[in-house]
Amino acid sequence: MRIYELDTLPRSLYPQLGAFALSGGEPPQDIRFVRDVRKLPTAASDYFAVYAVEDGQLLSRIETLDLPFRGHHGTQRVVGVSDVVTRPDAVGRGLARTLLREVHRRAVPQGRTWSFLWTHRSWGAHRLYESLGYEDVYSPPSALGPFPSRRRGRRTVGYRVTRERSRTGKRLERILTRSTLGRLGFLPRTPGSFEAKYRLGWRKPKNHLLLWQGRTPVGFAHIPEESRWSLGVNEVVVAGPEHSEPMLRALEKAAGRRRVAIQGTSYVRDAAELLRGNGYVVLESSHRVLMAKPLVSPTTYGEDVRTACSDPALAIHRGDMF
Ligand SMILES: CC(C)(COP(=O)(O)OP(=O)(O)OC[C@H]1O[C@@H](n2cnc3c(N)ncnc32)[C@H](O)[C@@H]1OP(=O)(O)O)[C@@H](O)C(=O)NCCC(=O)NCCS
């Protein structure tokens, strides 16, 4: 078995690249897609990914990010492990484990002392990560609103709501920056990341509901999908706590006769009291979990960033789940 990174991967293997996503039931992400991703301002690491190859077959793959992490003692760069996949006919042979070790090995000389990844507690991969020293450090909360009552549709004086139209993403970035001042986590988010997501087709501007106070945009909510039964929201960002309630009213108005379902965003924890007071069921955690592993010994890594992850100041939204 040989390990390659994207730039050293033999061209003859390019046709197999897209199949990893297919095996997970997702659309193929072939070499053209990967090249587009690399051209955009994403947090992809310089080597992008590592691949395990044997007998002309691409068997396992891990993509990696180089992310900022703001802790109690400042910001450092950390490794973000994403898209860990082994081809179904090659599982159980230690390939993912070997690639993860390779990612860790590469990170230390570059000064990285922590590695993070997202997974689900109930997935087999969780055991693999634990055996390599990763531990659960955070799990995103969620909240489900009550069935609508007559109160719904009340406007909050001084606020109005529009849908985002701009494709630059700059306005959303500014709101996010304001909302995360003094907060901890994968901050600041890569400049240009909203525009990158639009260009890759991962998000649409119009799926962002914008909350204005007068002429100032003070919040946004990403609504990736709407069903007949609920309005699903996975990134709710407000520039200050005083905008939490107007945002909730805006979401409820957008939901109309449907329930509001909020997932994977710090808004739930920040506004938990408000949500509960309005009849929402608030779940403090989910099956999704953030895991972290120190890449060096405790005497060398300085701040233990795991403590930042249990601090209420942690701000994590869907866009921080890689
Ligand atoms: C999870 C996945 C990447 C593992 O790849 P792999 O190459 O088979 O993993 P390895 O052989 O290196 O690791 C094996 C270890 O992982 C754990 N493991 C892997 N799959 C497991 C499963 N289904 N159930 C329980 N443990 C599992 C075991 O601890 C095992 O250790 P052992 O061999 O000492 O028993 C692969 O099953 C896969 O691609 N799954 C679908 C995509 C996915 O879930 N990716 C993870 C996203 S977070």
Tell me how far the alpha carbon of residue 95 lies from the centroid of ligand 1, in angstroms.
9
Pocket test for ligand 1, best of 23, 91, 287, 289 (most atoms within 8 A of CB): 91
Residue 193 has, within 13 A of its CA and on its CB side, a CA count of 20
Q: In ligand 1, which atom is closest to the CA atom of 91?
A: 8
Each of the 322 residues of the chain gets a pLDDT tens digit; together they read 999 999 999 999 999 999 988 888 888 889 999 999 999 999 999 999 999 999 999 999 999 999 999 999 999 999 999 999 999 999 999 999 999 999 999 999 999 999 999 999 999 999 999 999 999 999 999 999 999 876 666 678 999 999 999 999 999 999 999 999 999 999 999 999 999 999 999 999 999 999 999 999 999 999 998 789 999 999 999 999 999 999 999 999 999 999 999 999 999 999 999 999 999 999 999 999 999 999 999 998 989 999 999 999 999 999 999 9
pLDDT at 315: 98
Nearest CA to ligand 1 atom 48: 119
What is the number of alpha carbons within 13 Å of residue 170 lying toward its C-beta?
Answer: 2
Query: Taking every pair of C-alpha atoms in the chain, what is the biggest distance, in angstroms?
Result: 67
**What pLDDT is recorded for position 23?**
86
pLDDT of residue 294: 98
Backbone angles phi, psi at 74, to 5 degrees: 110, -175
For each of the domains in the chain, give its residue range(s) and CATH number, in order of start: 2-139+286-320 (3.40.630.30), 142-283 (3.40.630.30)
Long-range contacts of 36-40 (CB under 8 A, 24+ apart): 36/199, 36/200, 37/200, 38/6, 40/192, 40/195, 40/196, 40/199, 40/200
pTM score: 0.96
Q: Give the ligand 1 atom nearest the CA of 119.
A: 48
| Four-point Cα dihedral 39, 198, 263, 156, nearest 10 | 140
φ and ψ of 230, to 5 deg? -150, 160
Substitution site in 89, 126, 128, 130 for ligand 1 pocket (most atoms within 8 Å of beta carbon):
128
Question: Which amino acids bring their CB within 6 angstroms of ligand 1?
Answer: 24, 60, 84-86, 91-97, 119, 123-125, 127-128, 131
Kindly report the protein residue whose alpha carbon is nearest to atom 3 of ligand 1: 85
- Å from CA of 295 to ligand 1 middle: 21
Query: What is the model's pLDDT at position 155?
Result: 72
The minimum-distance atom of ligand 1 relative to the CA of 118 is 48
- List the structure tokens of 143: 């909240």
Q: Where are the beta strands (DSSP E) in 199-287?
A: 208-213, 216-222, 225-226, 230-233, 235-238, 259-263, 281-283
What pLDDT, on the 0 to 100 scale, is given for residue 153? 60
Distance from residue 111's CA to the centre of ligand 1 (Å):
28
User: Computed from CA positions of residues 138, 170, 217, 75, in that sequence, does the dihedral angle turn out positive or negative?
Assistant: positive
Phi-psi map region of 169: left, alpha, beta (phi>0 left; psi -120 to 50 alpha): left
User: Atom 35 in ligand 1: which residue has the minimum CA distance?
Assistant: 92
**Confidence (pLDDT) at 55:** 97
Look at residue 263 in the predicted model and tell me its pLDDT. Answer: 96
Give the atom of ligand 1 at the shortest distance from the alpha carbon of 130: 29
Please state the atom number of ligand 1 nearest to the C-alpha of residue 59. 7
For residue 234, give both structure tokens: 């996975």
The DSSP bridge pattern shows strands 142-144 and 74-86 to be unpaired
Q: SS3 for 122?
A: coil
